[in-house]
Structure 1
Amino acid sequence: MINPELRTVNVTRYVTPLREGGSLPAIVEADDGFLYVLKFRGAGQGVKALIAEIIGGELARALGLKMPEIVYANLDDSFSKTEPDEEIQDLLKASVGLNLAVHYLSGAITFDPIVTTIDAKTASKIVWLDCLLTNVDRTARNTNMLMWHKELWLIDHGASLYFHHNWENWESQSLRPFAQVKDHVLLAQATELEAINTEAKAIITPKLIKQILSIIPDEWLENREESAEEVRNVYAKFLENRISISDLLVKEANHARQTNI
């Protein structure tokens, strides 16, 4: 079940940067006493990466996949004043206000496909979702999955929905196959795509999509030409179009898996 709305926390302590992330996320502590991985609105892809995080993360949760809790995180301007690293200082200055964070899974280790085998149903759900989201960032080189308490957890959907970086032709992009599925780290285990396709389409309804989009702040969606509601409608239509071609996406993924065997 998705969150009807996201909690909001206030960042109280900047702990350490996570330099393996291209957007320089950081571990922070919030006023609820928990540690979070903070995704900055001032990073390279801006709020679009944060929008993709919400949509991808909450759709994953709706499918029964494990996702750390996503929260909004307020960052005030005091942190940049005490940060000696100029790159981080600039990032903090550019990110004052509302950002996104996910619960930090302390002690989690990066998923290694050589060490851990994922069951076919879970693998098929993840591959199906990433085809829907056009998520190019779930490869053997960078799995964006963690093992925590012997369970698989998904993280980092910021590279999903890359159509929104070239907004003008969103409709044609929504109806394209997803050739990059051939590089998916779980493709070999995703042998139940047809069954998952039927199950997932019954879960990810227009109503659910609208509910997820409703929790994205207006200020992240508004642009010079369109209102927040108009932008929400584009995201909704994009996802609905992807679902309408899900049979094609499954066929393409199955072909890629059989070709790679």
Structure 2
Amino acid sequence: MRYFIELSYKGTAYNGWQKQNNSLGVQQVLEEAMSKILRKPLELTGSSRTDTGVHAEQQFAHFDFDEIQDTEKLVYNINGMIPRDVAVQRIFSVPEDTNSRFAATHRRYQYRISKIKNPFLMNQVYVLRADLDLEKMNQAAALLLQYFDFESFSKIHTSVNNFRCSISQAEWSVEDDLLIFSIQSNRFLRGMVRALVGTLLEVGKGKRTVADFEEVIKSRDRKKAGAQAPAEGLFLVEVGYPAELIPTS
């Protein structure tokens, strides 16, 4: 049978979601715990890959296993074994051919910035004291909905068939003491959100105009965009699926 697992994690201690040979990924932590509990090796396939230090308020993965009689008990046992900075919310069955990556309809990220140092938000926000022109940043962000090729904001030497993304939301807002950039798309390229944020911040600081930002998009040249914003401010906040796939409770 095929199952989805829904989870969240603070990414500070991990080299991203993906398991790797020489560093610790969230995927490895979960696979090792679940294999011990279920007494059988298994492999997770994640809905999204997050980079080193990036957080996830909602992440999904799928795995194949024999019928699990009590998924709530399994969730309880997994949470008792994995570190406190990773948490499993639920496990549920899905049709056999459902892939957590390809079945997703959208992903939504937030990038969070604070003007003040807050020890309770350490490694969860980017502390930036600069004065920013929020109106100009939103004018530039709105341009993203008009384009589909975002090669300018992708890491180079990445193995993808194309650089096309359909962005349906891109906006800056102020919530309590945080400046938040929210962006939603059907897919994201490697390093895309952090590169976008870094370039939009240059618009906010007056180092680029809105027209300059549009030219960066059109150039399809990563060297024309700004530096990546630090990882600690980035959160994967939502992975969307067709309603019939996800149980309501």
Which TM-score band (shorter chain)? under 0.3
TM-score relative to the length of structure 1: 0.27
The structure in which a higher percent of residues are strand is 2
TM-score relative to the length of structure 2: 0.28
Larger radius of gyration: 2
